[in-house]
Chain A
């Protein structure tokens, strides 16, 4: 709301956000070959949304990413991680022993690691967004009590 007139910030952030998202995806899927992995990718992916929320307001962010989506993704991440472990159990291995995921143990390890890292990325991404929105939602409601109706309806609920 405060940033509505900051033309430079709005234009620059719109230019930057796609590249931040792309870089996050690179870090996510390239973590087994270079530095990075699910944790860093989740934070970078979330930072693009945080930037969007800072510039365009929490309500706009919540239109793009409703609170039920973040809550779903938050739990999907841990479910995916532990699910891979359970699948390993069902296939006859130990918990989180990816060797059994494919015929070749090396391929199994690779599949397991990619899936597990994706789970970490999902949870970290949703976690950062959730915490950011919780704090920012309260701040907006406190700073601008007359706006409360709008804040509660649009964004303050998560």
Chain B
């Protein structure tokens, strides 16, 4: 058999197993600092998986945002709250298990309808993708089709995403950015 396929399968399985273990550890551990670190590792594993799936742009974003920025923000949040998780009573844990099992079953049921991974007849490969891959060099002229799709064909979507980030930052500023102003008072002229 092709050695490359075997290696990539092995990597896939290994990454998924590590992600599973990390997820279980996140659910078990009560020290939230460790949980934040583990979620960073989870994101990094996710990024590795995207690289194996040849989605380098997504992997890049996952590594930068998931493993980098959000970890720092979570630690910042931990500094504001406690780094110990309160124990949940067992009755609630059983309810949670029930809900999780239900959702898991629904997801598995939904995934039955999905086309097989790499199936050339899958809708994703026959809708607009062939046009992007075939024509974008003549229409946009960029070697990286992902950028052509993101910034040109789907320019509206990307603009919306940029506005989402803008709104998020403005929201954080409004909610907690200036809370300390009231007490100081003398700080009025600074910073604007």
Q: Which of B56-111 contact A (CB under 8 A)?
A: 56-57, 59-61, 64-65, 68-69, 72-73, 76-77, 79-80
Contacts of A149 in B (CB 8 A): 184
Confirm or deny: A100 has a beta carbon within 8 angstroms of a beta carbon on chain B. no
In the complex formed, the residue of A with least CB distance to B79 is A139
Give A53-95 as 1s and 0s: 1 = Cβ < 8 Å from B's Cβ atoms: 0100000000000111001001101100110010000000001
Contacts of A120 in B (CB 8 A): 158, 161-162
Q: Are A116 and B68 in contact (CB under 8 A)?
A: no
Q: What is the CB-to-nearest-CB distance from B31 to chain A, in angstroms, rounded to a whole number?
A: 18
Q: Which of A1-49 contact B (CB under 8 A)?
A: 27, 31-37, 39-40, 43-44, 46-47
A113 interface neighbour in B68, B148, B165, Cβ under 8 Å = B148
Q: Are B142 and A33 in contact (CB under 8 A)?
A: yes
Contacts of A98 in B (CB 8 A): 152
**Residue ranges of B at the interface with A (Cβ–Cβ < 8 Å):** 56-57, 59-61, 64-65, 68-69, 72-73, 76-77, 79-80, 139-144, 146-148, 150-152, 155-156, 158-159, 161-163, 165-166, 168-170, 172-173, 176-181, 183-184, 187, 190-192
Contacts of B192 in A (CB 8 A): 67-68, 71
Q: Are A134 and B142 in contact (CB under 8 A)?
A: no
Contacts of B148 in A (CB 8 A): 32, 113
Q: Are A119 and B143 in contact (CB under 8 A)?
A: no
Known: A120-B162, A131-B73. 11 other contacts (CB 8 A): A43-B68, A47-B68, A47-B72, A74-B166, A110-B140, A130-B169, A134-B173, A134-B177, A135-B73, A141-B180, A152-B187
Contacts of B165 in A (CB 8 A): 123-124, 127
Q: Are B166 and A75 in contact (CB under 8 A)?
A: yes
| Count of inter-chain pairs, beta carbons less than 8 A | 178
Q: What is the CB-to-nearest-CB distance from A41 to chain B, in angstroms, rounded to a whole number?
A: 9
Q: Known: A37-B150, A110-B141. Contact between A151 and B180, CB under 8 A?
A: yes
7 residue pairs bridging A and B, Cβ less than 8 Å apart? A33-B143, A43-B65, A113-B152, A123-B169, A136-B79, A141-B180, A142-B80
Q: Are A40 and B61 in contact (CB under 8 A)?
A: yes
Q: What is the CB-to-nearest-CB distance from A37 to chain B, in angstroms, rounded to a whole number?
A: 6
Q: How large is the interface on A (under 10, 10 to 19, 20 to 34, 35 or more residues)?
A: 35 or more
Q: Are A35 and B56 in contact (CB under 8 A)?
A: yes
Contacts of B140 in A (CB 8 A): 106, 109-110, 113
- A106 to B161 alpha-carbon distance, docked (Å): 25
Q: Are B64 and A43 in contact (CB under 8 A)?
A: yes
Q: Are A131 and B168 in contact (CB under 8 A)?
A: yes
- A99 to B188 alpha-carbon distance, docked (Å): 47
Confirm or deny: A132 has a beta carbon within 8 angstroms of a beta carbon on chain B. yes
In the complex formed, the residue of A with least CB distance to B186 is A153
In the complex formed, the residue of B with least CB distance to A106 is B141
Sorted nearest first, the 7 A-B pairs with minimum C-beta distance are A139-B79, A135-B76, A127-B169, A35-B56, A96-B155, A43-B64, A106-B141
